[in-house]
Amino acid sequence: MADRLDEHDGAEPEDALGDPYAGTAEAVARDVDEPLVWFGDVHLSFDRPILKGVSFTLRPGTTKIVLGGSGSGKTTILRLILGLLKPDAGTIVVDGTSVGVLREPELRDVRLKIGMVFQEGALFDSLTVGENVGYRLIEDGHLPEEAIEERVREMLGFVGLATHYDKMPSDLSGGQKRRVAFARALVARPQIMLYDEPTTGLDPITATTITDLICKVRDLDGVSSILVTHQLRDAFNVARSFMLKKDDEYVTSVVEDMATLEGTEFMMLKEGTVVFEGSAHELQTSTDAYIREFLS
Amino acid sequence: MPSSRTLALMASLVRRLADRFKESILSVQDYALLSWRGLTALATPPRYPHEIIAQMDSLGVGSLSIVILTGMFTGMVLTLQSAASLDAFGARPYVGRLVCVSMVRELGPVLTALMVTGRVGSGMAAELGSMVVTQQIDALRVLGSDPIRKLVAPRLLAGIVMVPILTVISDTLGIFGGSLIGIFNLKLSWEFFWRSVGNALTMNDLVMGLLKPVMFGFILSSVGCHMGLRTTGGTQGVGLSTTRSVVVASVLILSSDFFMTKVLLLIFPVK
């Protein structure tokens, strides 16, 4: 584990630069009963119904793992949270703001609180890795160039790609692209991280690197997250692993007894409806035929 | 009395036609909205000067060689063809006048726009379409950028500014090519050819020849952006958008040319 992340310089994020992003993630240390994301009876249809009355909450400091087959509406949930889609009916609240009714310019503040890792990374082809990671900071224009470069290098170090600053996305492997996307999502220190199938199409070792990063962000920075995946192995990896920092080294531990897991919830979608919501232990012991088939 | 099967088929056909019609209306509405937002984005900050310069370079400098070749050969062939027809009336000396007016008023703007559509309009559709299918447009929005300001507005401005400049180059080289044919093939004197060009051109011709490419530049870039941003269906969809953008922009350029000519002839009549 430490080998995989040893390129990280171990530096804690610096807040002393008059940094407007400083402490954004710390905001999660507020009332834990207040949901960070709330879906209330959300419906959405295109040619066919995509979501049919989906309701759930994401509490601060927790991770929700959304499972389901292809076309079950998993990615749509993330797009709704980001305001990229509008629901036909129902309410979506992100950190106290109802995003379903906001216009595009008004969504900017909400999106600043969210980091998104897209399925294939969605890196901008025409920009270097450094420019991709620093894109949000450059667009905001709040930080001087030196501070942006410092932050970008810090984030690239965090994902183990410190030496790739000047490379183009086309020079990276699939796993490296996802890690750059990770750094880009984290650069503004979001309160919420959304992961859309971050390990799909990756080999098991690279997939573990990605799930380790998810745990690292969750356990060390206290960022709440929603992980959409149909890779059961990676979903349970994230649920069972937790990361600690000991003597400047990252140490991963694995919980053997699923019944003792806290802070991670599973949700399963089937054809746009929530068929299961609960802990990893409850998921594994469920007698529902669809869940049993999905897990088998 | 038609059978129930025939009725069902007819109902299905009507439904599909209605869906197609609704889709077309929606597409026109989307196009109008995109164009309006793109133009208004040019008037208000934030603007992206690097993007604007990059697009002008890509559209203008990048298209220079094809525009030079197109203009030159069009002027040359026009001179040859016109001379053959004018000879029947003993009017060969008027060939310079005919070539320059044809190039400036009609062929320069239209051919330049069509060539740039093929080269750049399709490229815009392909580039934006690829960005849509790889979720880069979504990423832009999530990261706080407005894709219309960042991607559409610079392309519109590049089209509006660079197509008229390319047209002037095309016109000039077309007339120059015509003069070469006039001198070496038709045995006209250099001085005579260029004097007839100077005598033939009026301010109305120049205004008409410069207003059209502004409109054509807007059409080719707005259609390219519209088709690109409406891409669905992965890489196959990108190919379809590219083809559609060239077809739609070319048809719009040719049809708008007719209507613009009608209107401009009323405003700036030929003396």
> Taking all residues of chain A, what is their mean pLDDT, rounded to a whole number?
85
Residue pair A239/A232 in contact by the 8 Å Cβ criterion: no
Coarse DSSP helix, strand, coil percentages of chain B, rounded to the nearest 5 percent: 85, 0, 15
Q: For residue A224, give the amino acid letter.
A: S
Residue pair B231/B129 in contact by the 8 Å Cβ criterion: yes
Give contacts of A112 with chain B, Cβ < 8 Å: 144
Widest Cα–Cα separation across chain A: 56
Smallest Cβ distance to A136: which of B130, B135, B144? B144
Residue A18 backbone class (left: φ over 0; alpha: ψ -120 to 50; beta: rest): left
Question: What ipTM score was computed for the predicted complex, to two decimals?
Answer: 0.83
Give contacts of A122 with chain B, Cβ < 8 Å: 134-136, 138-139
Q: What's the pLDDT score for residue A259?
A: 62
Q: How far is CA B241 from CA A125, A135, B47, B226, in A?
A: 20, 28, 27, 9
Q: CA angle B163-B141-B150, nearest 5°? A: 20
Give contacts of B144 with chain A, Cβ < 8 Å: 108, 111-112, 136, 139-140
Burial class (CB in 10 A: 0-12, 13-18, 19+), A213: buried
Question: What is the reported pTM?
Answer: 0.85
Q: What's the pLDDT score for residue A29?
A: 45
Q: What's the pLDDT score for residue A84?
A: 94
- A256 three-class SS: coil
Residue pair B150/B49 in contact by the 8 Å Cβ criterion: no
Q: What's the pLDDT score for residue B44?
A: 87
User: What would the two tokens of residue B219 be?
Assistant: 């059409």
Which residues in chain B come in under a pLDDT of 50? Answer: none
Residue A23 has pLDDT above 60, yes or no: no
What does the radius of gyration of chain A's CA atoms come to, in whole angstroms?
Answer: 19
Distance from A201 to chain B by nearest Cα, in Å? 15
Smallest Cβ distance to B134: which of A111, A116, A120? A120
Give contacts of A119 with chain B, Cβ < 8 Å: 135
**Where is B266: in which H helix or E strand?**
helix B234-267
Task: Count contacts between A and B (CB, < 8 Å).
Answer: 46
Q: How confident is the model at residue A9 (pLDDT cuts 50, 70, 90)?
A: very low
- What is the pairing mode between strands A264-270 and A63-68? parallel
Q: Which residues pair with A56 in a beta bridge?
A: A39
Distance from B10 to chain A by nearest Cα, in Å? 22
Residue of chain A with shortest Cα separation from B51? A126
Test the B interface: residue of A24, A46, A84, A177 with most B CBs within 10 Å: A84
Give contacts of B19 with chain A, Cβ < 8 Å: none
Give contacts of A125 with chain B, Cβ < 8 Å: 130, 136
Phi, psi of B85, deg, nearest 5: -75, -40
User: What would the two tokens of residue A103 be?
Assistant: 């216009």
CB contact under 8 A, A124 and B139: yes
Q: Helix B153-184 crosses helix B95-102 at what angle (to 10 degrees)?
A: 170
User: What would the two tokens of residue B30 be?
Assistant: 């989307």
Q: How does pLDDT run across A210-250, given as a tens digit for each residue?
A: 898 898 888 888 899 999 998 888 898 888 888 887 777 77
Test the A interface: residue of B135, B235, B238 with most A CBs within 10 Å: B135
Q: What's the pLDDT score for residue A101?
A: 87
CB contact under 8 A, B144 and A108: yes
* A195 contact partners, CB below 8 Å, separation of at least 6: A117, A214, A225, A226, A227, A228, A229
CB contact under 8 A, A139 and B143: yes
Q: How confident is the model at residue A31 (pLDDT cuts 50, 70, 90)?
A: low
Distance of alpha carbon B249 from alpha carbon B219, whole angstroms: 6
Q: CA angle A283-A289-A293, nearest 5°? A: 75
